[in-house]
Amino acid sequence: MTGGCQRCAFERDEPLADDDLVEAVERCGACPHLAVPGERALFERLHRVLRQHRQSRSLAHKRERELRELKQASTRSEDRLRRLELAHHVSGEELEQKSRTLAMISSIASAANAAASIEESMHLFLRPLCTGLRMGAGVASLGDELGMHFVVECPDPMALGGALAALADSGWTALARVGPEPIELEPEDLRWTGEWRTRARAAGIRRALLLPVFLGGEYLGGCFLFGFTPRDPARVSQDLLVAAASVALGAQAAWVCMRESAAAAQSAAREAAEGASQAKTDFLSSMSHELRTPLNAIIGYGELLAEELTEIEAHELVELARKMNRAGRHLLGLINNILDLSKIEAGKMMVDAEVVDLAELVEDVVASVQPLVAANGNQLTTRVDTPLIPLVSDGIKLRQILFNLIGNAAKFTRGGAISVTASAVEVGGRWLLRLTVEDTGIGMTPEQLTHVFQPFTQAEIKTTARYGGTGLGLALCRRLASLMGGEVRATSMKDRGSCFIVELPFSA
């Protein structure tokens, strides 16, 4: 059909793409070919088929596009998933790292608590430090001395030993003393000596961490850790700070624990001492009764016996009874002195305050010592310048002091003179009662004078044999006087005599 409609695709002898064909059919609605009824029906059918074909093609395109989009979305999701997986993996590792750090801190804290000394605590730190920081081995030091080391894993323990020996001489303490900051080192570091560098390399050490410990600004020591694997730059610095802080805290805690346990031991010792002192006081008060009662009975019955024996004129036996009596009195004096001294030392001796008639007191004491004064052929004179101020003191203790001093003067003087005086003196704007007991007896050398106030001390070894006594009287006098706020002192010259001076406040 040539020479027909120019627009009609059917007039052309060229192959048409499906889409072009459909278009051509649609455009050629006016084509005379289509006016032919049979052909028209054919064309309509063709037209329908082609339209369906075009629709399914565009649907296919659409599906294809959708599929492409779906694929892209899925790739994006996969990417996201991969990223998520990665993130999850990282946070898992971080979590593991954090829990390792926490474990390290808590181990260090319990090490600090368990240790009896800072040195021990530093050794106990090593294990958690090494595992917490993934280091193979560690050594703790106190001061400049390297202590025991701890090994988690190490390729060559023998070589490590050699490296540690070289480390001791490497001058590392100067490095540690710089400050509390942790120090990270590699064996190549020039701050080390050559020997250490060689040995460290031979032992497979790839890096070292030094954690110095300062307490109260003072260098205490440090922990040295060694790694046999290369460092992980992402982690190490943060871990290091945590480790250094934990070690410092641990050492601090160990120090506090030590001080606490020392304080606890001290207070336990104090309690024990207080308990012992209480026990001593209880013992003394019961002994005081238990010893004095039978002794007083012996003395009393001895006197009675001497009287009875005198009456029946059994003279030899009288003398024996008197000897028994004297021995009893001596023992009673000794017991009284020991008990009094112990009571003062236990802090249980109380001071009474009462108005004391000084003249009467001196007269009483002199009267009781008079037999001894007379027995040794001495002359005793007293002079009491009764002070205007009333004396408020502990009469019993005052009597005890005076009795001891006059007793000594009478005992250590033969055929001499003893003078007892009481007066008021002003010392440093304060009125004091001064009692003096002076004699012309055997006297003492300056050296002897220095120790006669100590308990159980006499001027000479032979004193007891010659004069009797136990060396407790002066010790007791001095303690009693100081309890009453005063003092006892003495001056003396060998073979010339002695002077004992007591000064006490007027009101106790």
Ligand X SMILES: Nc1ncnc2c1ncn2[C@@H]1O[C@H](COP(=O)(O)OP(=O)(O)O)[C@@H](O)[C@H]1O
Binding site for Mg ion (CB under 5 A): 408, 473
Those residues whose C-beta lies under 8 Å from the C-beta of residue 94, and which sit 6 or more positions away, are none
Our finding on whether 378 is near ligand X (CB under 6 A) is: no
> Minimum distance from CB of 471 to Mg ion (Å)?
8
Distance CA 118, CA 97 (A): 28
User: Hey, what long-range contacts does 293-299 have (CB within 8 A, 24 or more apart)?
Assistant: 295/328, 295/331, 295/332, 295/335, 296/332, 298/324, 298/328, 299/325, 299/328, 299/329, 299/332
Our finding on whether 471 is near ligand X (CB under 6 A) is: yes
Instruction: Write out the H or E segment, with its range, that includes residue 481.
Output: helix 473-483
Q: Among Mg ion, ligand X, none, what does residue 409 contact (CB within 5–8 Å per kind)?
A: ligand X
**Of 100 and 494, which CB lies nearer to ligand X in the complex structure?**
494
> Minimum distance from CB of 337 to Mg ion (Å)?
9
Q: Which of 115, 211, 346, 444 binds ligand X (CB under 6 A)?
A: 444
Those residues whose C-beta lies under 8 Å from the C-beta of residue 358, and which sit 6 or more positions away, are 384, 386, 387, 391, 422, 433
Q: Which of 122, 240, 452, 502 binds ligand X (CB under 6 A)?
A: 452
Our finding on whether 420 is near ligand X (CB under 6 A) is: no
Q: Which of 182, 408, 484, 486 binds ligand X (CB under 6 A)?
A: 408
Measure CA of the first residue to CA of the last residue in the chain; give whole Å.
158
Q: Which of 118, 302, 439, 440 binds ligand X (CB under 6 A)?
A: 439
In 3D space, the residue among 227, 163, 151 whose CA is nearest the CA of residue 195 turns out to be 163
Q: Among Mg ion, ligand X, none, what does residue 299 contact (CB within 5–8 Å per kind)?
A: none
> Cβ(429)–Cβ(508) under 8 Å?
no
Distance CA 303, CA 312 (A): 15
**Of 202 and 372, which CB lies nearer to ligand X in the complex structure?**
372
Stretch that binds ligand X, among 227-235, 322-330, 422-430, 457-465 (CB under 6 A): 457-465
Our finding on whether 416 is near ligand X (CB under 6 A) is: no
Those residues whose C-beta lies under 8 Å from the C-beta of residue 200, and which sit 6 or more positions away, are 163, 166, 167, 187, 192, 208, 226
Our finding on whether 481 is near ligand X (CB under 6 A) is: no
* Distance from the Cα of residue 493 to its chain's centroid: 55
**Of 61 and 414, which CB lies nearer to ligand X in the complex structure?**
414
Stretch that binds ligand X, among 205-213, 226-234, 316-324, 408-416 (CB under 6 A): 408-416
Structure tokens at 450: 């220095």
* C-alpha dihedral (317, 318, 320, 326), degrees to nearest 10: 170
Stretch that binds ligand X, among 25-33, 51-59, 291-299, 456-464 (CB under 6 A): 456-464
Q: Which of 141, 170, 376, 463 binds ligand X (CB under 6 A)?
A: 463
> Minimum distance from CB of 371 to ligand X (Å)?
17
Our finding on whether 136 is near ligand X (CB under 6 A) is: no
Our finding on whether 440 is near ligand X (CB under 6 A) is: no
Any idea which residue has 């000084």 for tokens? 358
**144: how many CB neighbours lie within 10 A of its CB?**
13
Q: Among Mg ion, ligand X, none, what does residue 222 contact (CB within 5–8 Å per kind)?
A: none
Our finding on whether 107 is near ligand X (CB under 6 A) is: no
Stretch that binds ligand X, among 94-102, 108-116, 469-477, 478-486 (CB under 6 A): 469-477
Our finding on whether 498 is near ligand X (CB under 6 A) is: yes
- Judged by CB under 6 A, the chain residues 181 through 220 that form the site for ligand X are none
Instruction: Write out the H or E segment, with its range, that includes residue 325.
Output: helix 315-345
Our finding on whether 409 is near ligand X (CB under 6 A) is: yes
Q: Which of 182, 221, 302, 473 binds ligand X (CB under 6 A)?
A: 473
> Cβ(120)–Cβ(89) under 8 Å?
no
Structure tokens at 257: 């624990």
**Of 277 and 436, which CB lies nearer to Mg ion in the complex structure?**
436
> Cβ(122)–Cβ(221) under 8 Å?
yes
- Burial-class residue 382 by CB neighbours within 10 Å (0-12, 13-18, 19+): middle
Any idea which residue has 């007066």 for tokens? 423
**Of 250 and 441, which CB lies nearer to ligand X in the complex structure?**
441
Q: Among ligand X, Mg ion, none, what does residue 452 contact (CB within 5–8 Å per kind)?
A: ligand X
**Of 205 and 488, which CB lies nearer to ligand X in the complex structure?**
488
Q: Which of 193, 421, 470, 491 binds ligand X (CB under 6 A)?
A: 470
Read off the amino acid at residue 55.
Q
For the chain, helix, strand, coil in percent to 5 are: 60, 15, 25
Our finding on whether 338 is near ligand X (CB under 6 A) is: no
Our finding on whether 135 is near ligand X (CB under 6 A) is: no
Q: Which of 469, 485, 494, 501 binds ligand X (CB under 6 A)?
A: 469
> Minimum distance from CB of 363 to ligand X (Å)?
21
Stretch that binds ligand X, among 272-280, 365-373, 379-387, 468-476 (CB under 6 A): 468-476
Binding footprint of ligand X on the chain (CB under 6 A): 404, 408-409, 412, 439, 441-444, 452, 458-459, 463, 469-475, 498
